[in-house]
């Protein structure tokens, strides 16, 4: 008798696990099941509601603050103290509604290789208030800047120059762009690009040297579209296909799972990038302390600034503590002239979500806040809310920088027109 032959599997059978994902994702996002799964991982009920009961028209620290409409969508800003310039990574809110992977909203579409306005870097003179757009020079694929986090580091061989590291969500994928800028000029020369599997959902960057930096990944699953899902389902991961969007939406719905990380990259090393810290609830803003011994990371959806001791030889990170803010948080900054840290906070997440759905409608503007904190010499922190806007000046605030030496603060946003200038300093 001839041996029994196995019946051939239907071609669809190998894809059944993927087809089950939306069903499982829907079930686990039902409130009772989601609560049961996330009970031990979420800090949201404790740390995200401190300012939720403030009156609708409450304001704090807005006196002397005005909106400057010369640049918009300035998601991240950093002050270069020596030159007195603030460097701003800005964009067009209308274009970010079409493609900005960090914000998953209905209507997001696969990016094309053209047709959307390019983002740009500006310098703001803290003394004169003049604004200069830095024209990219020698960059491959011009017109493909969709900017997010920004960090600066001085050129060790030339005091007249600075390196600019930028998170760029280009159509070909999210990478880290490097530029060199001569202070006082109006251009920035492309100096390289770092694309690595470890950098899969980059949000912010903290420069260590011209060729090394830390990057936060703000999600575990990448944003996707129907096109990306089909490519991955039937063609496999070709490098451009992204993870299924229903998993990203599941992750967004869960909110407070410890699924994100911090990556350290150094050019010329093998491997080029590696995980420096993991198990973070929605890693967002990141900042290297002035002495280089501490890395501060926003755990956005836990409303906490995490402090990591940094091994200056290996660049490994070890968590050493945290500061609970009472609200979801975004980018961090440091004022060298006062020794104060600043962090942007989102007092009411529900209102922020509505703003992101349609940021061009003023009635959708969400409250925004800024917390200033200092590290006490004896240990611990001193912190307080120094700015709260009910939505009159901006629909959101993702970064606040200050220079007490120049008597000014700047507030940027990811999805609002203009940026805010405050004088006196916050």
Percent of the chain whose predicted confidence (pLDDT) is above 90: 64
For 313-320, what is the mean pLDDT?
A: 95
Tens of pLDDT, residues 27-62: 444 443 443 344 334 433 345 888 888 998 999 999
* 112: pLDDT strictly greater than 80: no
Domain boundaries, the chain: 14-422
Q: Are 223 and 242 in contact (CB under 8 A)?
A: yes
Q: 148 pLDDT band (50/70/90 cuts)?
A: very high
Q: Residue 224: what pLDDT?
A: 61
Q: Are 105 and 97 in contact (CB under 8 A)?
A: yes
For 397-426, what is the mean pLDDT?
A: 97
Q: Which helix (H) or strand (E) holds 288?
A: strand 283-288
Fold of 14-422: Neuraminidase (2.120.10)
Q: Residue 99: what pLDDT?
A: 75
Percent of the chain whose predicted confidence (pLDDT) is above 70: 81
User: Per residue, what are the HEC states of 116-184?
Assistant: CCCCEEEEEECCCCCEEEEEEECCCCCCCCCEEEEEEEECCCCCCEEEEEEEEEECCEEEEEEEEEECC
Instruction: Give me Rg for the CA atoms of the chain.
Output: 22
For 204-229, what is the mean pLDDT?
A: 84
Q: Which helix (H) or strand (E) holds 307?
A: strand 304-310
Judge residue 357's burial from the number of C-beta atoms within 10 Å of its C-beta, 0-12 exposed, 13-18 middle, 19 or more buried. Answer: middle
Tens of pLDDT, residues 268-298: 888 899 999 999 999 999 999 999 999 999 9
For 169-198, what is the mean pLDDT?
A: 94
Query: 């009411």: which residue's tokens?
Result: 348
Tens of pLDDT, residues 228-240: 555 545 554 443 3
Q: Residue 378: what pLDDT?
A: 76
């Amino acid at each position: 008798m001839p041996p029994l032959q196995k019946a051939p599997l239907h071609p669809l059978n190998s894809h059944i696990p993927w087809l089950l994902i939306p069903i499982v994702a829907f079930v686990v996002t039902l409130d009772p099941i989601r609560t049961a799964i996330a009970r031990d991982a979420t800090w949201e009920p404790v740390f995200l509601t401190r300012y939720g009961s403030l009156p609708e028209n409450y304001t704090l620290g807005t006196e002397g603050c005005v909106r400057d409409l010369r640049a918009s969508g300035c998601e991240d800003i950093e002050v270069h103290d020596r030159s007195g310039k603030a460097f701003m990574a800005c964009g067009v809110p209308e274009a970010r509604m079409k493609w900005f992977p960090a914000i998953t909203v209905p209507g997001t579409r696969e990016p094309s290789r053209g047709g959307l306005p390019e983002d740009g870097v500006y310098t703001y003179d803290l003394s004169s208030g003049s604004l200069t757009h830095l024209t990219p020079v020698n960059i491959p694929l011009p017109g493909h800047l969709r900017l997010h986090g920004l960090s600066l580091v001085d050129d060790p061989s030339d005091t007249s120059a600075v390196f600019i590291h930028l998170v760029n969500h280009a159509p070909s994928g999210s990478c880290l762009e490097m530029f060199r800028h001569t202070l006082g000029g109006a251009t920035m020369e492309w100096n390289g690009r770092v694309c690595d599997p470890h950098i899969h959902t980059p949000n912010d960057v903290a420069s260590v040297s011209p060729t090394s930096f830390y990057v936060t990944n703000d999600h575990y699953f990448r944003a996707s579209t129907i096109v990306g899902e089909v490519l991955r389902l039937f063609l496999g991961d070709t490098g451009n296909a992204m993870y299924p969007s229903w998993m990203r939406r599941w992750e967004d719905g869960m909110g407070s799972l410890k699924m994100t990380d911090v990556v350290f990259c150094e050019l010329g090393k093998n491997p080029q990038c590696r995980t420096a810290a993991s198990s973070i609830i929605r890693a967002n803003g990141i900042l290297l302390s002035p002495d280089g011994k501490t890395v501060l990371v926003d755990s956005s959806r836990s409303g906490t600034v995490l402090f990591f001791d940094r091994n200056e030889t290996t660049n490994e990170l070890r968590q050493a503590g945290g500061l609970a803010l009472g609200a979801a948080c975004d980018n961090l900054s440091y004022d060298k002239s006062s020794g104060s840290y600043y962090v942007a906070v989102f007092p009411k997440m529900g209102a922020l979500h509505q703003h992101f759905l349609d940021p061009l409608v003023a009635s959708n503007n969400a409250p925004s806040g800024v917390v200033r904190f200092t590290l006490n010499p004896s240990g611990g922190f001193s912190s307080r809310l120094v700015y709260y806007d009910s939505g009159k000046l901006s629909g959101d605030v993702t970064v606040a920088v200050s220079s007490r030496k120049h008597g000014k603060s700047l507030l940027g946003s990811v999805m609002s027109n203009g940026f805010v200038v405050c004088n006196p300093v916050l």
